[in-house]
Amino acid sequence: MRSVTMSPARASDFCRCNRQSTAAGRPFGTTVPGRPSCPALPRRTERRLLHSATHLIHAPFKGILLATIIVFSLIIGIVSTLVLDIWAQIQQRVAGVPAPDWGTAGRWVRGLSRGEWVLRDGTAAPSATDRTVGWLFHYGVGIVYGFFLFLIAGAAFAVHPTLIPPLIVGVIIATLAGLFIFLPGLGAGVAGAGLADQKTAIRNMLIGHLIFAVAQYLTAVCLAAIVF
């Protein structure tokens, strides 16, 4: 791609004029009443500037951009998972819906290292180590889902978050993983077929993941407002 060049004086006038335009709530490049017109740019130069901006937005994750995405993924993952846990506690206290047992999940995760893909005895009491591993796994998955947002939407999600990527990650991907990986791994069968009330379990999972997705989106919006 050819570089875009202009004289320092012309570049200064162009940038100053457009800062005034955007500060006045007008589109980039328009004239502010009572001020000189913005210097015109050749159409070819405008196209190159637009191409350069687009290239930067969709550039590979590197340098400070990668660091920003990692930090955003950590914060989005932790906050949205915490919101999901708060919702689980509310459900348990108000409606009597049992909260997820992350100690049992920890036993399953530890068994994976021994090649045990399905938990053999889900009724045994989990140990303190199981609980620690389970909670780390729980929040680790949340952080991974936070990073998935950028894999789907690109680096631009950090600056201008939209709701579609969280819905894809937090509702669709997370629910599919829960139904076809997590529940079978815990011995509950594919899509919870071995549970006493499969429909209720799936409904509660969908509601929880919808709340998780909304929390992802709102956290990303807050981060974008603070950082950018």
Q: Are 141 and 124 in contact (CB under 8 A)?
A: no
Residue 218 makes CB contacts below 8 A (sequence gap 6+) with none
Question: How many whole angstroms from its chain centre is CA 163?
Answer: 10
Mean pLDDT score of the chain, rounded to an integer?
81
| pLDDT number for residue 33 | 52
CB 31 within 8 A of CB 38: yes
**Distance (Å, whole) CA 147 – CA 66:** 11
The yes-or-no verdict on residue 193 having pLDDT over 50 is yes
3-state helix, strand, coil in the chain (%, to 5): 70, 0, 30
Whole-model pTM? Answer: 0.72
- Which tens digits make up the pLDDT trace of 77-109? 999 999 999 999 999 999 988 899 999 999 999
What is the Cα–Cα distance from 130 to 106, expressed in whole angstroms? 4
CA angle centred on 58, ends 55 and 59, rounded to 5°: 75
